[in-house]
Amino acid sequence: MFCKACGNEVLDTTIICPKCGSSTGVEEVKTVSPALLWGGWLSAIFLPIVGIACGIVIATRKQVGMGIGMVVTSIFAWIFWIGVLIGV
């Protein structure tokens, strides 16, 4: 194909014309950053486990309401993250 701005011939996959620097209209392929993906999985798997464990420890230390709250919050966070990761 040809650059719309300067007419220079460019590859079909070229995003920016090398001659004039204009956008060729080719959309950049969207990629999920690996860091976000790993962060998501770590959050989805480890944080709820830590949260539930902490909740149980707090509950056994006579702060039952707060412990149960923490466990429930962790379960909801877990469901949320699994949903986000499946959505990706």
Minimal distance, residue 9 CB to Zn ion, in Å: 10
Shortest Å distance, C-beta 10 to Zn ion? 7
Applying CB under 5 A, which residues contact Zn ion?
A: 3, 5-6, 8, 17, 19-20, 22
Within a 10 A sphere around the Cβ of 14, how many other Cβ atoms?
A: 15
Paired tokens of 82: 């699994």
> What's the Cα-to-Cα distance from 78 to each of 10, 12, 64, rounded to whole Å?
47, 43, 21
Residue 70: how many CB atoms within 10 A of its CB? 20
Give 16 or 68: the residue with its C-beta nearer to Zn ion.
16
| Least Cβ distance, residue 2 to Zn ion (angstroms) | 8
Q: Would you say 2 or 38 has its CB closer to Zn ion?
A: 2
Copy the structure tokens of residue 25.
């209209």
Which CB atom, from 22 or from 43, has the smaller least distance to Zn ion?
Answer: 22
